[in-house]
Structure 1
């Protein structure tokens, strides 16, 4: 539970300060609010803005995905906590180019409340139209018949990728909401937790697991999963995760998908690629075509041990948007 920090109460602001200084060609901090980060590059008039955000501790999500082909701004919250309405509103005001702004965020009570308040204030104070897409990709967090209650986890990367590309291609706000919602509807994620993380302020583990235990479906903040048990092999765990996804979202032979094998913070790339090897094998066996793959730390939980698998089913529109180039401080795609 050791961390290289200074004052535990200042970690988020010091991180943001370092981040802005490290990537001045990509991002800048708004003087009006120290938790509002926007793209440093001019955006054209008439482009719909894309704003993402959530709690810190998930880096590179969310602030790592502001840049060309992705989001135009991010509102940064405290560790595992929603940003308040103020930084969301300030970023909205700056990135609005006359055609409105799309909010993308995970389905958590604090985010729903604060982004909702910011959307209302954007309309009342500045006349800015705001569209909203709630990410609900976590299969383990609610049954399919209650999908609207599901949490948003690593699959949010796909929804941001699709929306950012569509925005650059000139989609209007209602079209952007529609395609981002389609991306969310076509995305499923399932994760496994191995070891806890610790908050800088407490230094205590966020949950408890035995040395030989794992937890299927554990949330990105340590929310309870669906099953605890003895640690299994990478192939056994991966098979369980993928099977749960494909049971929840059947994919036919010949259909295309994009896959993300995501590390939660301390899981090595060796382990993630071993998991991806099994994902690839399972998709081939079912005749499902792998269009594109991502392996690495895309949405973490401080130093938590574990991983998640996200699969998005593609149609021609989503495939084109996923393939669109991107240039962000923590994500580049040619």
Structure 2
């Protein structure tokens, strides 16, 4: 195993120290990443979190127009309730706090416990479950939460900056989740530093269809194929669950080890598929946003958007992982 680390046990702490050093807009306190300057009083606070190894999710989306704080757990491990509680206390600006939670059992339980432990102040929660690959697994009850988490954080964050009340922010977050679907393809496994070896075995001539962001099994394996065929498999799965129509927000996301040139090859095929369905790519993202350490592969996330949601997507944002309009 060759990795740019000091020691397997200090990877998360060392990375958070580097993030704070690189981005003065962030502070790291007790493994909570928060804005160095709290948002305006009277605004809804947003908190999310999950296991590390998916960068820039979630800490990279802390800042104006998105999250107030994020709770990075250890590699592929849920943050603990004390972390979440501390992040929630910081995010409280007098209008309540929304927890945005990926649908993994540990994340859901620990965010629920943190909300129960809090004394005073309203806490609402939205659970993101957008992965159409599998339903119910060793890791989840229901579908996994993956790329659409970014969509939810962005739209909810824009609405919170505008001063919308907690119930409105929660409903918008739930709407985005309901309108979104994702599917992932792995060419290789990722390697957890503490393990020192790939999470799963995948022959050189095989790909895993419907992989989870922690290396969980997908729907099936098949022989490696051109990008056009793999993109079609992913889009067939999305379209089969939520038919593509109207204006779409489309993200082709790298899993951490895929060159950007290859992601653009995939996006060209995804865009052609969307056109073939009579729909339109209204907004797009291509790059590493919800990764799985050094896994090679991609995921596609699609959200059906209307004029209101597109406006919230376009609203200014300034975070390490996403920025425009300021």
If the length of structure 2 is used for normalisation, what is the TM-score?
A: 0.96
Task: Give the aligned partner of residue 138 of structure 1.
Answer: 131
How far apart are the structure 1 equivalents of 2:308 and 2:97? 21
Secondary structure of the residue aligned to 1:140 is coil
Residue 62 of structure 1, aligned match among 39, 45, 58 = 58
Which 5+ residue runs of structure 1 have no aligned equivalent?
none
Report how far residue 260 of structure 1 moved.
0.2
**Given that residues 283 and 290 in structure 1 are in contact (C-alpha distance below 8 angstroms), is that contact kept between their aligned partners in structure 2?**
yes
Task: Give the aligned partner of residue 108 of structure 2.
Answer: 112
Secondary structure of the residue aligned to 1:163 is helix
Task: Give the aligned partner of residue 5 of structure 1.
Answer: 5
Report how far residue 330 of structure 1 moved.
2.1
How far apart are the structure 2 equivalents of 1:199 and 1:275? 26
Task: Give the aligned partner of residue 298 of structure 1.
Answer: 289
Matching of residue 21 in structure 1 with residue 21 in structure 2? yes
Residue 309 of structure 2, aligned match among 281, 304, 318 = 318
Q: How does 1:240-319 map to 2 (within 5 A)?
A: 240-252=233-245, 255-319=246-310
How far apart are the structure 1 equivalents of 2:84 and 2:277? 43
How far apart are the structure 1 equivalents of 2:291 and 2:15? 15
Residue 92 of structure 1, aligned match among 88, 91, 98 = 88
Task: Give the aligned partner of residue 80 of structure 1.
Answer: 76
How far apart are the structure 2 equivalents of 1:148 and 1:197? 24
Secondary structure of the residue aligned to 2:133 is helix
How far apart are the structure 2 equivalents of 1:213 and 1:7? 32
Residue 220 of structure 2, aligned match among 185, 206, 227 = 227
Q: CA RMSD, aligned part only?
A: 1.3
- Structure 1 stretches of 4+ with a deviation exceeding 4 A read none
Q: How does 1:150-169 map to 2 (within 5 A)?
A: 150-169=143-162
How far apart are the structure 2 equivalents of 1:113 and 1:283? 37
Report how far residue 42 of structure 1 moved.
3.1
Report how far residue 325 of structure 1 moved.
1.4
User: How many residues end up aligned between the 2 structures?
Assistant: 322
Report how far residue 39 of structure 1 moved.
0.7
Secondary structure of the residue aligned to 1:195 is coil
Which 5+ residue runs of structure 2 have no aligned equivalent?
none
**Given that residues 136 and 148 in structure 1 are in contact (C-alpha distance below 8 angstroms), is that contact kept between their aligned partners in structure 2?**
no
Task: Give the aligned partner of residue 51 of structure 1.
Answer: 47
How far apart are the structure 2 equivalents of 1:251 and 1:201? 41
Matching of residue 192 in structure 1 with residue 191 in structure 2? no
Secondary structure of the residue aligned to 2:83 is helix
Report how far residue 284 of structure 1 moved.
1.4
**Given that residues 257 and 291 in structure 1 are in contact (C-alpha distance below 8 angstroms), is that contact kept between their aligned partners in structure 2?**
yes
